[in-house]
Structure 1
Amino acid sequence: MLTIYNTLTRQKEEFKPLHPGVVNMYVCGPTVYNYIHIGNARSAIAFDTVRRYLEFKGYRVNYVSNFTDVDDKMIKEAHAEGITVPQLADKFIKAFMADTTAVNIEPATKHPRATENIPEIIAFIQKLIDNGYAYESAGDVYYRARKFSHYGQLSGQSLDDLEVGASEHVSADEIGKKEDPMDFALWKTAKPGEINWDSPWGKGRPGWHIECSVMSTKYLGDTIDIHAGGQDLEFPHHENEIAQSEAATGQPFVRYWMHNGFVTIGKDNEKMSKSLHNFVTVHDIIKTVDPQVLRFFMATTQYRRPIQYSAANLTDAKNNLAHIQTAYDNLTYRQRDAQAGSDEAVSDQLTGFTDRFTTAMDDDINVQNGIAVVYELVKAANTYAQQQVVRAAALQAYKDKLAQLVSIFGIKLVAHNDEIDDDQIKSLIEERNQARKNKDFARSDQIRDDLKKQGIILEDTPQGTRYKKE
């Protein structure tokens, strides 16, 4: 039984989608004014892993993740670069897709952009006005937060506490426009020279929160199964989404709210963010770090836990991933001399591993316990590969199971081609084998070292010397 920790209720709940066999899932995407940092990538990787596990469980997942392609930051950055806001958006959406493809994040079923949905946003805002939840003021439109009786439930904050915080961040201009400091913008009147659209309230653009309410309900329905994003979005973004959506539709907005933990950096475990100027972009890190290693590093920590970014932790991830890949290569190597047939004991063993993996992951997508089962599978596969007699079907079954389980973490296992075409290298390997038989270990070691300098790694196994390219 799959359970998910629901931020709204603050407890694990049995997962039951609204429509059997189908999961409608919305994940807040980036504001595309810069390259994504690995804090942003953490959310994308965490919920791509959730999506993959749901698909492993047999669900069809409709996965929508938006692009915020107009807001204050984008207007400011476009002006600084001397380009239009749409040009800036196109530039960084392209970069986002390249970076997420590198770390093997599956494309969303739909990647809607805020600017593609302006008519729907205007209609949604008008409905809120008609329902008495919003009002126009000097070209802006605001939502009456206090009118929504459950406001603050998701973030676990009282309206009085929220009002104190809101009052500290409301400008003098906004104070004059708002009925209440808690009210938030649905539509902003355009300043001179800013990108804008015509609306019943004058030229302007959407507020940040309204776009996700509009696009999630447009593409997934009034009630969706899972809405996900970073912990920093609980308030105000997701709180405001609930208020907007339920006031407009009269239906429960989300069945399960999922929020991922932060990426931290430094000895003080400081949250990584653009505002603190302590971030590392995926665009830069994958120039020096294997994208598969970065993916493995981030996908093997349970989504609600924080991740500490450090060179040491990346090295650990690299070594652990190499351990899995080596087991896969060991199985591939033994296929050269395998006997025909299957092994019933192996089939039973793999069924047991699958059951244990599923039990681990069913507990709120506990990837840390899940990957621990994979490591046990690796150990069993290596033990089998060292047997004197191995069966072809059993080797393939181990390979298939390893590939299947690690694919949920976004990892692709590929059989390495260890064949070496250079006759001189093959001759050296044969000479080394003979030197070992003659107990001439000095010569044997010298050949091993010489080949290593050429990128050829030798491994002595019970079935003979194995060699591969480094």
Structure 2
Amino acid sequence: MHAWPASEVPALPGKGRDLRIHDTATGGRVTLDPGPVARIYVCGITPYDATHMGHAATYNAFDLVQRVWLDTKRQVHYVQNVTDVDDPLLERAIRDGKDWVELAEGETALFREDMTALRLLPPKHYIGAVEAIPGIVPLVERLRDAGAAYELEGDVYFSVESDPHFGEVSHYDAAAMKALSAERGGDPERPGKKNPLDPMLWMAAREGEPSWDGASLGRGRPGWHIECVAIALDHLGMGFDVQGGGSDLIFPHHEMGASHAQALTGEYPFAKAYVHAGMVALGGEKMSKSKGNLVFVSKLRRDGVDPAAIRLTLLAHHYRADWEWTDQVLQDAVERLGRWRAAVSRPDGPSADALVEEVREALANDLDAPAALAAVDRWAERQDADGGTDEAAPGLVSRTVDALLGVAL
């Protein structure tokens, strides 16, 4: 599966700072110090209704991570998946009378267009669950053969008790885990399971649903969590720098994925840091496909909204914060974009050397994009009030905003 084209990232004078970021697993801030190649895995979409503003906010956050790393002169090895076969996709295809493959391909193509318009840097490897199945099957077999998984009426389940570190990503208690499992695709009430929290690794073929050859597992399709584990281990290995996604993935997805990988390899941890973006609401409720309260990037683009303004709307909120989409927050971003473009259109201006360092420091400080925007606002205000004589300043501001915030002025 192919990703989307990359926009050029301008080089800035000097060198950026190492990223200090909130790690869900430890509950505190950690300083990431990758080697020459920083490794990040971000969980991708289930392509049946893309791309809403919650998606955009999440991927914007991890785009900032990449840009901070690139500014430190590192390479970035970024991997993202597409869950292109799963119950919600199949249910939507039936509801709409579409072929599930056609639905997945169409929504994935739209997602690529939205990511390109927002100038989000693409992953090096963009992998669909279906194409990953040949690598998933042997992992499930290994877990089963090692006693970390078991069969139940043809399905294969992972035993959470096989990983001594289970629970160390979310730190939720058993009652919260059970409730979230039921809410987010699990089946804690199924009779015969060793532990209600045990997640499915391989679903035996169901009548009328797609299935693949699972060797000794029989025909079926993979569970959600093992998909990401197989892709991450294949392309990044254990102990990569950041596992990312929305806060709704903390449990069960990231908790289970970590346990799958740790049980498979005997190594710990799966990722050095678990980083999660907040949720975006509309009308007082979290945007979700099930509720249908969605604002789509593609719809805004069709209505003539500049993608740079959409991105500035996202950047105006700290990535870990839960916030609400309104017409006003978008209008604020449109006005900010206009002010910035007017400020850099002049032939000279106040020195921007300090601005570069302010934006770097803000982003290194747990991706504080609102502080970075405020720094650019202050420079634009000085430009509007007093101007300046530095002919290089407007260009340096433009390159800084482009390189570190992904916004083209």
- When normalised by structure 1's length, the TM-score is 0.78
Match of 1:11 in 2: 28
Secondary structure, in 3 states, of the residue corresponding to 2:281? Answer: strand
Secondary structure, in 3 states, of the residue corresponding to 2:126? Answer: coil
Determine if contact 1:217/1:223 at 8 Å carries over to the other structure. no
User: Post-superposition shift, 1:167?
Assistant: 7.5
Distance 1:61 1:27 in 2: 13
From 22, 26, 34, the equivalent of 2:41 is: 26
The equivalences for 1:233-312 within 5 A come to 233-251=249-267, 252-266=269-283, 269-288=284-303, 289-312=305-328
The equivalences for 1:68-83 within 5 A come to 68-83=83-98
1:411 matched to 2:407? The reply is yes
Match of 2:165 in 1: 150
Secondary structure, in 3 states, of the residue corresponding to 2:78? Answer: strand
Match of 1:41 in 2: 56
Match of 1:188 in 2: 203
Deviations 1:279-324 (A, max 9, x none): 1222212222222111111023221112320011111111111110
The one-letter amino acid paired with 1:109 is: K
Q: Which has the higher contact order (CA 8 A, sep 6+)?
A: 2
User: Post-superposition shift, 1:28?
Assistant: 0.6
Determine if contact 1:38/1:281 at 8 Å carries over to the other structure. yes
From 138, 141, 145, the equivalent of 1:123 is: 138
Deviations 1:3-47 (A, max 9, x none): 111111000111112xx2221001111001122211111111121
Deviations 1:151-173 (A, max 9, x none): 2221121235534765897377x
The one-letter amino acid paired with 2:311 is: R
Distance 2:308 2:377 in 1: 17
User: Post-superposition shift, 1:396?
Assistant: 3.0
From 212, 220, 245, the equivalent of 1:229 is: 245
Distance of aligned partners of 1:167 and 1:90 in 2 relative to their CA distance in 1, 3 Å threshold? closer
Determine if contact 1:298/1:307 at 8 Å carries over to the other structure. no
Distance 1:166 1:375 in 2: 44
Match of 1:108 in 2: 123
Distance 1:357 1:291 in 2: 21
Distance of aligned partners of 1:306 and 1:171 in 2 relative to their CA distance in 1, 3 Å threshold? closer
Distance of aligned partners of 1:15 and 1:104 in 2 relative to their CA distance in 1, 3 Å threshold? same
Secondary structure, in 3 states, of the residue corresponding to 2:256? Answer: helix
Determine if contact 1:357/1:373 at 8 Å carries over to the other structure. yes
The one-letter amino acid paired with 1:375 is: D
Distance 2:285 2:279 in 1: 9
Determine if contact 1:69/1:114 at 8 Å carries over to the other structure. yes
The one-letter amino acid paired with 1:170 is: D
- Determine which structure has more spread, i.e. the larger CA radius of gyration: 1
From 358, 361, 364, the equivalent of 2:360 is: 358
User: Post-superposition shift, 1:77?
Assistant: 2.4
Match of 2:341 in 1: 325
Determine if contact 1:381/1:398 at 8 Å carries over to the other structure. no
Secondary structure, in 3 states, of the residue corresponding to 2:82? Answer: coil
Distance of aligned partners of 1:142 and 1:109 in 2 relative to their CA distance in 1, 3 Å threshold? same
Distance of aligned partners of 1:313 and 1:123 in 2 relative to their CA distance in 1, 3 Å threshold? same
The one-letter amino acid paired with 2:332 is: D
User: Post-superposition shift, 1:376?
Assistant: 2.1
- When normalised by structure 2's length, the TM-score is 0.89
Distance 1:261 1:161 in 2: 19
Deviations 1:256-288 (A, max 9, x none): 11100111122xx32111122211222212222
The one-letter amino acid paired with 1:188 is: M
Deviations 1:410-460 (A, max 9, x none): 2112xxxxxxxxxxxxxxxxxxxxxxxxxxxxxxxxxxxxxxxxxxxxxxx
The one-letter amino acid paired with 2:362 is: A
Identity %: 33
Determine if contact 1:152/1:159 at 8 Å carries over to the other structure. no
Distance 1:317 1:110 in 2: 32
Q: Which runs of 5+ in 2 are unaligned?
A: 1-17
The one-letter amino acid paired with 2:278 is: G
Superposition RMSD in Å: 2.1
Distance 2:181 2:249 in 1: 16
Q: Which runs of 5+ in 1 are unaligned?
A: 336-345, 414-470
User: Post-superposition shift, 1:80?
Assistant: 3.6
Determine if contact 2:181/2:251 at 8 Å carries over to the other structure. no
Secondary structure, in 3 states, of the residue corresponding to 2:59? Answer: helix
From 65, 71, 89, the equivalent of 1:56 is: 71
Report the more deviating stretch, 303-312 or 280-289. 280-289
Distance 1:232 1:167 in 2: 13
Distance of aligned partners of 1:408 and 1:355 in 2 relative to their CA distance in 1, 3 Å threshold? closer
Distance 2:38 2:339 in 1: 34
The one-letter amino acid paired with 1:367 is: A
User: Post-superposition shift, 1:353?
Assistant: 2.3
The one-letter amino acid paired with 1:5 is: H
From 380, 385, 398, the equivalent of 1:402 is: 398
